[in-house]
Amino acid sequence: MWIIAGLVLGGWLGLGIDGWDGVIGGALAGTILGVIIQIVRSRRGARKEDLERLEARVAVLEQAVAQLKGGVAPAVSVAASAESMARVEAVEPFHATEAPDPDLGNAPVPEPEPAHVRELPDFTPAPDEPRPPGTLEQAYMRVRAWLLGGNTVVRVGLLVLFFGLAFLARYAVEHSLVPIEFRLAGIVAGGVALLAVGWRLRHSRSGYALSMQGGGVAVLYLTIFATMRIYQLIPPGFGFALLLAVVAFSAVLALLQNAQALAVIGIAGGFMAPILASTGQGSHVMLFSYYLLLNAGLLAMAWKKAWRVLNLTGFLFTFSIALAWGARDYRPELFASTEPFLVAFVLMYIAAAVLYAWRSAPSLKHYVDGTLVFGTPVVGFGLQAALVRDMPYGLAWSALALGGLYLLLARWLHGCARPTLRLLVESFLALGVAFATLTIPLALDGQWTAAAWAMEGAALLWVGVRQSRKLAMFSGLALQLAAGLFFIDGGGLSVHGRVWPLFNSQMLGALLVALAGFASSRIAERGRDHWPRLLKVASPALLLWATLWWLAGGMNELDAWLSNRQLVAAALALFAFSGALATEVARRLDWRAMHWPALLALPGMALSLLMTLLHGTHPLAGWGVVAWPLALASALFALRQGERAPMPLKGLDHVHTALLWLTAIALAWGIGHVVDGLIPGASWANGAVLMVAVLVLAGLRRLAARDVWPVGPWRQAYVKAGGGGVVIVALLWALAVSLASGGDVSPLPYLPLLNPLDLAMVLVLLASVRWCQSLVDGASAWRDGVLKVLALLGFVLANGALLRADHHLAGVAWDGSAMFNSGVVQASLSLFWGLLGLALTFVASRGQRRTLWMLGAVLLGVVVAKLFIVELASTGTVARIVSFIGAGVVLLVVGYFSPLPPAKEQKA
């Protein structure tokens, strides 16, 4: 009925305002309003019917109990009780979702058949209720109930009556049968008749009566509008007074009959009255004063009745009309006469949300109106932004005031000690914190839109998780992404335009986006059961998102105020501080996932080394000598707390290994540069780098032997994997230096093997051997292979030391061609290889090591072949004779003192 009435009345109203062009728009608006009223009426009727059925059941049971207490056989038998209850249930199943029949009224409970069976009613528990239907299914059932349920004759009759009155009015106008005053008076009389009939039948036929009264109110609205605007028979002021009277009259009818639909019609007409009566010359003060009184009446009804649709109707009309007026007529000079009304409207609808929750909380279902709770500050703050856009810090003060108001409300409601209002208290607390947080970036003229979206997205995700609303959860996540994109698009990551360090819009805006992301990640992790498929992925993704925003904001702030050389240490300090802060948060909140951002010191170390390489400095330059110890302490603190967590993280052994490598690289690099700056000779710096590796290996071995944390518990990570990496890098560095450096040790004179470079290489080889020997017994085959590789590298490094001695003592140029053509170099190499081969064959012969003996023999063969090739190419007869005699003597000595061991080796 309400849908058809809205369609007809809306089309009629559109015809009066804009002619035939306005019929479609008016009909559409009326149909939407009719749907809203119909839904409200259906819910009210369903609740009423449920209560009637419960009262009927209680009455039957009370009658049986009373008769049992009196010692009389109950007049209600099991069969009679079941039949009586079945008759009541036949009206509509309990908890049914279809709309009730409006014409049933207060149906009397049928009298049970007398019986004399001394039995109690069967209290067999009802089966579990089926799953509630979805939104589309509910809409379909309501439309079906409206079309096929209830008194269809009444609805069709009202529809036909409206069309008949419309055709009658049109016919009278076309033929001028009756003066316009009498025609309008007749329509008014018809509306009054509908109201009278509806009021008279309000007890016996409640649904029928409300339909008649709603039609009567609609007829009065329409007639007054036509009299005032179309035919201009009454002045606008008088017409406005009549419309206001109809509003008050419909509100009284609604309260007396507990009819929410009538209240919605009345309040909607009240909001439309000044628009219908407007001539375009009125004052906005008068308009908003009238709306203030109208909202005061709505608030009074909210004090008595928890009618959510009525509150939403007033909210939509108030702020929609205010927005339309502001977009068309507002000017800055009207601020003083406009601001009080905006503040009053916001306060009223905050109060409406509180009253609704206060009266609806006992139901424990949907007692927080999310539209009013979150819509009021969003819409009000948006309108306030338009009012104060030309005022310095106007929006900041507005955010501070609104945040303080919500915090005070949360404190007051919490003090009322009503557990049912907990969700409302938490909602107000979240809004208060959000708007109070917005004060800082707003005051500093920052990227407040992105920050507001981020905080609002976090709040929306929280509400969605609390109420298990997937749309709210998805919207909160989407709002987080939109906030970040808007922040970047608005130049939030630019290094320009910053007035104060740290306290500027770019820095604080990025900080708010990051904090919103952290909060959202925590909310998603704790509420993942409400939507596992989305929130299980969203929680780590939001944590990564927030961490990146945190670091991006900090790095951009450092880049804006520091030079490139200062930026290296400052960036490492930022990562170290962030990791320590994350560790403390993870520990206090028992947040397992936060232990990963707690390890930010490690990527900070890697980034610092890369920046150091690009800027041509070294890790310990400037404040690096302070930043690197802080980063090391932060990483160790994070690892220690990660191990102590109830569910320790996986893969921490790799983190320990990476920490050792990064620290060793930074220490060797820094000390090498420092030594190079103090002593001019390159060998000193290279030797210092190798000595760092030696000290690291020795320290690892000592800490592992004493079982000191972290090396003792993580021996495999530090000694085997970490120490192996240090050994490889140190040997490669020694090999590169041996081939590329001439071994300058100025200002000291060069002494073979007793110079810093040769000594460092010897110590590196010894430390590598000790590291290899410290491996577990299960890796003996692998250890033997490593020892052979170390022997080969030692042979290469020994040749390098020999070449450096020839360079310094014999004056051979440090050049590949000069070295190859030098007789001194060739002779020294032949002598060294020959002695080494002789020593190997001697040791192998004594130890029965056939493989080692073959290696020594091959080395001697190479020496002999080298002598033949070199001396045959020379022209000196004496040299040729000496070379051949020498080679022969060497072979004879080997054959006598170091014979070839048997094929099967027997190791000593």
Q: Tell which wins on pLDDT, 683 or 661.
A: 661
What pLDDT, on the 0 to 100 scale, is given for residue 845?
67
Q: Is the confidence at residue 663, as pLDDT, over 60? A: yes
Q: Is the confidence at residue 257, as pLDDT, over 80? A: no
Q: Which of 112-116, 750-754, 877-881 has the largest mean confidence?
A: 750-754
Q: Do 690 and 761 meet the contact criterion of CB atoms below 8 Å apart?
A: yes
Q: Tell which wins on pLDDT, 126 or 570.
A: 570
- CB proximity list for 46: less than 8 A, separation 6 or greater: 96, 99, 100
Query: What 8-state DSSP symbol labels residue 750?
Result: P
What pLDDT, on the 0 to 100 scale, is given for residue 788?
82
The C-alpha atoms of residue 15 and residue 3 are separated, in whole angstroms, by: 18
**Interval 61-87 mean pLDDT:** 55
The C-alpha atoms of residue 263 and residue 213 are separated, in whole angstroms, by: 11
pLDDT single digits (tens) 609-636: 999 998 888 999 889 999 999 999 999 9
Q: Tell which wins on pLDDT, 395 or 90.
A: 395
**Band of pLDDT at residue 83, cut at 50, 70 and 90:** very low
**Interval 668-679 mean pLDDT:** 89
What pLDDT, on the 0 to 100 scale, is given for residue 22?
47
Place of tokens 């051949």: 884
Place of tokens 């810093």: 756
3-state DSSP assignment of residue 299 = helix
- Give the C-alpha distances (Å, rounded to integers) separating 862 from 221, 832, 858, 869: 118, 12, 6, 10
Q: Is the confidence at residue 907, as pLDDT, over 60? A: no
- CB proximity list for 640: less than 8 A, separation 6 or greater: 709, 710
Buried b (16+ CB within 10 A) or exposed e, 612-650: beeeebbbbbbbbeebbebbbebbebbbebbeeeeeebe
3-state DSSP assignment of residue 728 = helix
- Tally the residues of the chain: 908
The C-alpha atoms of residue 150 and residue 1 are separated, in whole angstroms, by: 11
On the CB side of 542, CA atoms within 13 Å amount to 29
Question: 506: closest CA among 544, 556, 547, 465?
Answer: 556
- Neighbour tally for 540: CB within 10 Å: 14
Least confident of 275-279, 515-519, 840-844: 275-279
pLDDT single digits (tens) 199-239: 777 777 666 666 677 667 766 766 776 676 666 777 877 86
What pLDDT, on the 0 to 100 scale, is given for residue 97?
35
Q: Is the confidence at residue 85, as pLDDT, over 50? A: no
The pTM for the full model equals: 0.56
Mean pLDDT for all residues in the chain: 74
Question: 249: closest CA among 273, 275, 278?
Answer: 273
Q: Is the confidence at residue 874, as pLDDT, over 80? A: no
Q: Is the confidence at residue 489, as pLDDT, over 70? A: yes
Least confident of 164-173, 701-710, 715-724, 788-797: 164-173
Q: Do 638 and 576 meet the contact criterion of CB atoms below 8 Å apart?
A: no
The C-alpha atoms of residue 308 and residue 296 are separated, in whole angstroms, by: 16
Structure tokens at 86: 């079945």
Q: Is the confidence at residue 138, as pLDDT, over 60? A: no
pLDDT single digits (tens) 882-902: 555 665 666 666 555 555 555
Structure tokens at 177: 């049968």
- Neighbour tally for 13: CB within 10 Å: 24
**Band of pLDDT at residue 121, cut at 50, 70 and 90:** very low
The C-alpha atoms of residue 129 and residue 131 are separated, in whole angstroms, by: 7
Structure tokens at 444: 């500093």
Q: Is 107 exposed, middle or buried (0-12, 13-18, 19+ CB in 10 A)?
A: middle
Q: What Rg value do the Cα atoms of the chain yield, rounded?
A: 46
Query: What 8-state DSSP symbol labels residue 619?
Result: T
Q: Is the confidence at residue 344, as pLDDT, over 60? A: yes
Q: At what angle do helices 260-277 and 308-329 cross, to 10 degrees?
A: 10
Q: Is the confidence at residue 158, as pLDDT, over 70? A: no
Helices (H), 706-753: 715, 723-740
Question: 734: closest CA among 756, 758, 753, 761?
Answer: 761
**Interval 374-380 mean pLDDT:** 84
Q: Is 153 exposed, middle or buried (0-12, 13-18, 19+ CB in 10 A)?
A: exposed
Q: Do 520 and 458 meet the contact criterion of CB atoms below 8 Å apart?
A: yes
What DSSP assignment string belongs to 104-160? --SPPPPPPPP-----PPP-PPPPPPPPPP-HHHHHHHHHHHHHHSS-HHHHHHHHH
What pLDDT, on the 0 to 100 scale, is given for residue 81?
45
pLDDT single digits (tens) 17-26: 555 444 444 5
Helices (H), 361-491: 370-387, 394-415, 422-443, 448-467, 470-489
Q: Is the confidence at residue 33, as pLDDT, over 60? A: no
**Interval 769-780 mean pLDDT:** 71
Q: Is the confidence at residue 101, as pLDDT, over 50? A: no
Q: Do 726 and 689 meet the contact criterion of CB atoms below 8 Å apart?
A: no
The C-alpha atoms of residue 313 and residue 265 are separated, in whole angstroms, by: 10
Q: Rounded to 5 degrees, what angle do the CA atoms 491, 497, 500 make?
A: 120
3-state DSSP assignment of residue 476 = helix
Structure tokens at 326: 């502001």
- Give the C-alpha distances (Å, rounded to integers) separating 159 from 105, 155, 173, 220, 261: 22, 6, 21, 17, 18
In 3-state terms, the chain is what percent helix, strand and coil (to 5)?
80, 0, 20
Structure tokens at 163: 């069309």
Q: Tell which wins on pLDDT, 525 or 745.
A: 525
Handedness of CA 125, 128, 130, 131 (dihedral sign): positive
**Band of pLDDT at residue 664, cut at 50, 70 and 90:** very high
Q: Do 517 and 454 meet the contact criterion of CB atoms below 8 Å apart?
A: yes
Question: 271: closest CA among 298, 254, 291?
Answer: 291
% pLDDT > 70, the chain: 65
In degrees to the nearest 10, what's the CA dihedral of 614, 618, 620, 626? -10
Residue 279 φ then ψ, to 5°: -110, 5
What pLDDT, on the 0 to 100 scale, is given for residue 896?
56
Least confident of 8-22, 511-525, 706-720, 743-757: 8-22
The C-alpha atoms of residue 472 and residue 465 are separated, in whole angstroms, by: 8
Place of tokens 């649709």: 309
Residue 603 preceded by cis peptide, ω within 30 = no
3-state DSSP assignment of residue 285 = helix
What pLDDT, on the 0 to 100 scale, is given for residue 514?
94
- CB proximity list for 346: less than 8 A, separation 6 or greater: 376, 377, 380, 402
**Interval 446-461 mean pLDDT:** 78
3-state DSSP assignment of residue 218 = helix
Query: What 8-state DSSP symbol labels residue 391?
Result: S
Least confident of 345-359, 374-388, 700-714, 856-870: 856-870
Residue 236 preceded by cis peptide, ω within 30 = no
Measured distance between the N- and C-terminal CA atoms of the chain, rounded to whole angstroms: 110
Question: 10: closest CA among 207, 313, 265?
Answer: 265
Q: Is the confidence at residue 585, as pLDDT, over 90? A: yes
Q: Is the confidence at residue 123, as pLDDT, over 50? A: no
Q: Is the confidence at residue 518, as pLDDT, over 80? A: yes
- Give the C-alpha distances (Å, rounded to integers) separating 409 from 11, 198, 362, 403, 452: 44, 43, 20, 10, 21
3-state DSSP assignment of residue 717 = helix
pLDDT single digits (tens) 797-818: 888 888 888 888 888 888 877 8
3-state DSSP assignment of residue 559 = helix
Amino acid letter, 667: L
Q: Is the confidence at residue 601, as pLDDT, over 90? A: yes
**Interval 103-121 mean pLDDT:** 41
